[in-house]
Amino acid sequence: MALFVLKFGGTSVKDIERIKNAASKVAAEAKLGHKIAVVVSAMAGVTDKMIEYCNGISPVHDMREHDAVVSTGEQVTAGLMAMALQQRGLNARSWMGWQIPLCTDSNHNKARITDINAASLRDRIEQGEIAVIAGFQGISEDQSITTLGRGGSDTSAVALAAALKADRCDIYTDVDGVYTTDPRITSKAHKLKRISYDEMLELASLGAKVLQTRSVEMAMRHGVSVQVLSTFTNAIGSEYPGTLVTNEETTMEQRTVTGIAYSLNGAKITLIDVADTPGVAAIIFGALARAGINVDMIVQTSSESGTTSITFTVEKNDLDRSLHILESERPKIKYTNLLADKDIAKISLVGLGMKSNPGIAAKMFETMAEKKINIQAIETSEISISVLISEEYTELAVRALHSAYGLDKS
Ligand code: ASP
Ligand code: MG
């Protein structure tokens, strides 16, 4: 018999009815004789509420206590889920991160898992007990509760699947799999049966919200097969109705572009007439890095006149802070003008087939040209191409590209 980790996200445990429904899926797997660990998120909206409470005390607060508060949502659902399983006559108990222990570094609010001592957890699962684990939380070396960043329960689930050497990690969510693009943007998007780790990682980091990026990294590193599936159908994971995220070799479909992601999280900053001398980029990006600001796309224009323009994107949340930093560094950077634009979108094509197929980028630019969409910046990786465009064209661009690359459902 197999060992599965089943993870239920916030919408899947939104209220008592949903928790009971999730418990019925766990029960169905247990009935087939499988050993099971369940990982739960907080009820939808609860984590946001907790963050709001913390900010209500003060927008600037101690992050150790922040995690003590914010991690509680998962404790509630773990207890309720264990009860719901017991109600069905199953042997189940809840586990908080510290009880396992799931050890992390002490980077509160975005802690990384350092070790999972799964010995006692595994023993009890082997004896037939269903382990219901609070996702998102861990414990640091100094015995403080930590949390793994928004969406972190995905990472908890995959990490536990690796530690328990589970046969598969099923992620139950409100969509029934990974789609070629966001089905809310085009009804022609279709569900992928399989997708490689690399493609999923790229899609997740470029804006697809199905899985937390770190969970995909973790799955890839440990070779955990992850399945994304819907809680709102009758199917269960053993029936393979979702999308399987797995090794490249086993993804069968040969395609150049697998999916299209978009992100509206970015804001664009342009520095005009920056001195074109060594060290200037280091001053700009060094100052932003010291403030913990992540920079995404960077474009520098060529310079004949001795000055150049530098354009880059940061997260929208970091825009005001970035502008403030750049203003205070102005004497050193010596630009003439500082521009900011929040209304931008990054549209990305992802596909393993890009490695060996020329012309993918050209087709993307032609498609944008046909729709008269101006490209503000371009970025490529081995298996992706992204363009920065005005936010108002997001849907138009995604739909046009979806058709252009033959992804429309027939
Ligand atoms: N409850 C946490 C969040 O809302 C973790 C998770 O659901 O994955 O981000
Ligand atoms: Mg999630």
Q: Identify the architecture of domain 3-248 in CATH.
A: 3-Layer(aba) Sandwich (3.40)
Q: For a substitution probing ligand 1, which of 11, 136, 214 has the most ligand atoms within 8 Å of its CB?
A: 136
Question: What pLDDT score was predicted for residue 226?
Answer: 97
Nearest ligand by distance to the CA of 153: 1
Distance from residue 87's CA to the centre of ligand 1 (Å): 26
Distance from residue 350's CA to the centre of ligand 2 (Å): 21
Percent above pLDDT 90 for the chain: 88
Question: What pLDDT score was predicted for residue 188?
Answer: 96
pLDDT at 401 over 60: yes
- What is the atom index within ligand 1 of the atom nearest the CA of 148? 5
Q: Look up residue 208 and give its two tokens.
A: 């697809």
- What is the atom index within ligand 1 of the atom nearest the CA of 149? 9
| CATH 3.40.1160.10 domain range(s) in the chain | 3-248
Q: Output the residue whose Cα is nearest ligand 1's atom 8.
A: 151
Q: Could you list which residues have their CB under 5 Å from ion ligand 2?
A: 9, 151
- What is the atom index within ligand 1 of the atom nearest the CA of 136? 5
pLDDT band at 386 (very low <50, low <70, confident <90, very high): very high
Question: What pLDDT score was predicted for residue 253?
Answer: 56
Dist CA 29 CA 6 (whole Å) = 10
Q: Give the CA diameter of the chain.
A: 78
Superfamily of domain 254-410: VC0802-like (3.30.2130.10)
Question: CA gyration radius for the chain?
Answer: 23
Residue range 325-342: mean pLDDT, rounded: 95
Residue range 157-184: mean pLDDT, rounded: 95
SS3 of the chain: the string is CCEEEEEECHHHHCCHHHHHHHHHHHHHHHHCCCEEEEEECCCCCHHHHHHHHHHHHCCCCCHHHHHHHHCHHHHHHHHHHHHHHHHCCCCEEEECHHHCCEEECCCCCCCCEEEECCHHHHHHHHCCCEEEEECCEEECCCCCEEECCCCHHHHHHHHHHHHCCCCEEEEEECCCCCECCCCCCCCCCCECCEEEHHHHHHHHHCCCCCCCHHHHHHHHHHCCCEEEEECCCCCCHHHCCCEEEECHHHCCCCCCCCEEEEECCEEEEEEEEEECCCCHHHHHHHHHHHCCCCEEEEEECCCCCCEEEEEEEEEHHHHHHHHHHHHHCHHHHCCCEEEEECCEEEEEEECHHHHHCCCHHHHHHHHHHHCCCCCCEEEEECCEEEEEEEHHHHHHHHHHHHHHCCCCCC
Question: What pLDDT score was predicted for residue 1?
Answer: 81
Question: What pLDDT score was predicted for residue 140?
Answer: 98
Residue range 53-66: mean pLDDT, rounded: 94
Distance from residue 289's CA to the centre of ligand 2 (Å): 27
Distance from residue 149's CA to the centre of ligand 1 (Å): 8
Using CB distances shorter than 6 Å, the residues near ligand 1 are 9-10, 41-42, 47, 73, 135-136, 150-154
Q: For a substitution probing ligand 1, which of 41, 75, 171, 174 has the most ligand atoms within 8 Å of its CB?
A: 41
Q: Look up residue 176 and give its two tokens.
A: 């029934």
Closest listed residue to residue 182, CA positions, set 262, 299, 83:
262
pLDDT at 87 over 70: yes
Dist CA 239 CA 194 (whole Å) = 14
pLDDT at 252 over 70: no
| pLDDT 10s digits, 272-317 | 999 888 999 999 999 999 998 999 999 998 777 889 999 999 999 8
Nearest ligand by distance to the CA of 147: 1
pLDDT band at 88 (very low <50, low <70, confident <90, very high): very high
Distance from residue 401's CA to the centre of ligand 1 (Å): 32
- What is the atom index within ligand 1 of the atom nearest the CA of 152? 8
| pLDDT 10s digits, 29-39 | 999 999 999 99
pLDDT at 255 over 80: no
Question: What pLDDT score was predicted for residue 301?
Answer: 86
Q: Output the residue whose Cα is nearest ligand 1's atom 9.
A: 150
Nearest ligand by distance to the CA of 40: 1
pLDDT at 185 over 80: yes
Distance from residue 43's CA to the centre of ligand 2 (Å): 11
Q: Output the residue whose Cα is nearest ligand 1's atom 6.
A: 151
Residue range 65-76: mean pLDDT, rounded: 98
Distance from residue 41's CA to the centre of ligand 1 (Å): 6
pLDDT band at 249 (very low <50, low <70, confident <90, very high): low
Nearest ligand by distance to the CA of 211: 2
Residue range 337-357: mean pLDDT, rounded: 94
- What is the atom index within ligand 1 of the atom nearest the CA of 154? 8
The residue among 300 and 67 whose pLDDT is bigger is 67
Residue range 338-349: mean pLDDT, rounded: 98
Nearest ligand by distance to the CA of 228: 2
Distance from residue 152's CA to the centre of ligand 1 (Å): 6
pLDDT band at 257 (very low <50, low <70, confident <90, very high): very high
Distance from residue 9's CA to the centre of ligand 2 (Å): 6
Distance from residue 148's CA to the centre of ligand 1 (Å): 9
Average predicted confidence (pLDDT) for the chain: 94
Question: What pLDDT score was predicted for residue 240?
Answer: 83
| CATH 3.30.2130.10 domain range(s) in the chain | 254-410
Contact 328, 374 (CB under 8 A): no
Contact 67, 147 (CB under 8 A): yes
